[in-house]
A and B are shown apart, each in its own frame.
Chain A
């Protein structure tokens, strides 16, 4: 069994769907962190079967909505003195700009580089966003 020590002060991002942890890790810029960080992949989970976990030994301030766009089902635990003092469930924002990149090769954003990639939420339950320009659907956690 892999053992990773608990953290004293910082953040634990739990219940990440297996495979998405590494994307979140890079999205948060943790590859450049100068404090202790652990990315645990494929940990056993009663709810998910397998899950990823990120532990950050630092009270970093980051954009929670960014995490929701990768996996809206994560739990963010804020740790102080080795205890969970707050749990945060990220909410999908109604509109995002330059966070999701449109993958449609025919979308105008692929050639007009000054144009921001704007997506609006069209179905919260399914986590579906729509490109403002070409209507391409982006599904959170799948695309």
Chain B
């Protein structure tokens, strides 16, 4: 039963519950118009404490396509937060007006606090460098759609694995499916946090940490690229030194399997060359559309209207 639940962490829902969302997303993909009035009279609040274009648009488009309405703010300076209001008080107030809340926050764990004070479902739309569970729903829906399975895959994650919350969420969620292996490709400075590898080791899941994409690209079913995010660095010098280290181009793609797919949470800032956009293995823009369908299915399930 997903009605009334929060989604803070990609593992909050069991694989069976995720399948329920994905099955419903598949139905929406088949005939979107059929669901145009599913959320009539419901209100989604989008509380974005840091800038976001894609995720916010994706949520808003998802709710509007379900017939619902949207209220919210896209930067904290235009809200009561600028006056120093706590997350707890903001949530208790917003929950009086909205049926479901989406929150992005620069501080890790802020959506969990929100859930502790909210009588309506809270969805984590990204908290600092920590987790981004609806991106994970998007990623898993894309993989399921293309590969027709979520098991037995070799998943390569490349780029900024330290601050890349989408990667942390994907590893956490995909590690629950049988036989998946992870290849973590990054410079030493941007390796995944210890808690991620500690989790994999504790579950006995195969993973390797490498520094060169060329050496491993031929072994991958999925290549998940990430951008090096300037806003996650404490100083400019580190950012400039590391931002262009891992660039995927046509030359590297020649080393990859014919059925490998390239994914990216977007936006990209140079880590994927434009010369591979027309490669049939490039899935990052289709992935963005899957994201909207995944969020439509999620909203409907949490509101209990599917």
Q: Which residues of A contact B (CB under 8 A)?
A: 104, 106-112, 114-115, 122-123, 128, 130-137
Contact = CB atoms under 8 A, between A and B. Distances in A.
B202 A110 contact: no
Interface stretch (B104-112, B138-146, B271-279): B104-112
Contact of A133 (B86, B106, B109): B109
A129 to B, nearest CB: 11
B109 A107 contact: yes
B113 A107 contact: no
A115 B110 CA distance: 10
Nearest to B194: A137
A18 B275 CA distance: 59
Given A130-B195, A135-B130, A137-B198, A112 B113 contact: yes
Given A108-B110, A108-B113, A136 B129 contact: no
Contacts of A132: 109, 112
Q: Interface size class for chain B?
A: 20 to 34
Contacts of A137: 194-195, 198
Given A106-B128, A108-B113, A123-B202, A134 B87 contact: no
B88 interface: yes
A115 B113 CA distance: 8
Contact of B107 (A107, A130, A131): A107
* Interface secondary structure of B, over-half rule: mixed
Nearest to A111: B107
Interface string B116-133: 000000000001111000
Contact of B109 (A114, A122, A128, A131): A131
A106 B106 contact: yes
Contacts of A130: 195
**A-B complex: 8 closest residue pairs judged by Cβ atoms:** A133-B109, A134-B108, A108-B107, A108-B109, A108-B110, A106-B128, A134-B109, A135-B195
Contact of B108 (A106, A114, A115, A122): A106
Contacts of A106: 106-108, 128-130
A128 B198 CA distance: 10
A107 to B, nearest CB: 5
B87 A108 contact: yes
22 contacts: A106-B107, A107-B107, A107-B109, A108-B87, A108-B110, A108-B112, A110-B107, A111-B107, A112-B107, A112-B110, A112-B113, A122-B198, A123-B198, A133-B109, A133-B110, A133-B112, A134-B108, A134-B128, A135-B130, A135-B193, A137-B194, A137-B198
Nearest to B107: A108
Contacts of A115: 113
A109 B202 contact: no
Nearest to A139: B194
B168 to A, nearest CB: 8
A140 to B, nearest CB: 15
A97 B2 CA distance: 29
Interface in B78-113: 86-88, 105-110, 112-113
Interface in B40-78: none
A57 B229 CA distance: 56
A54 B127 CA distance: 43
A114 to B, nearest CB: 7
A109 B87 CA distance: 11
B246 to A, nearest CB: 23
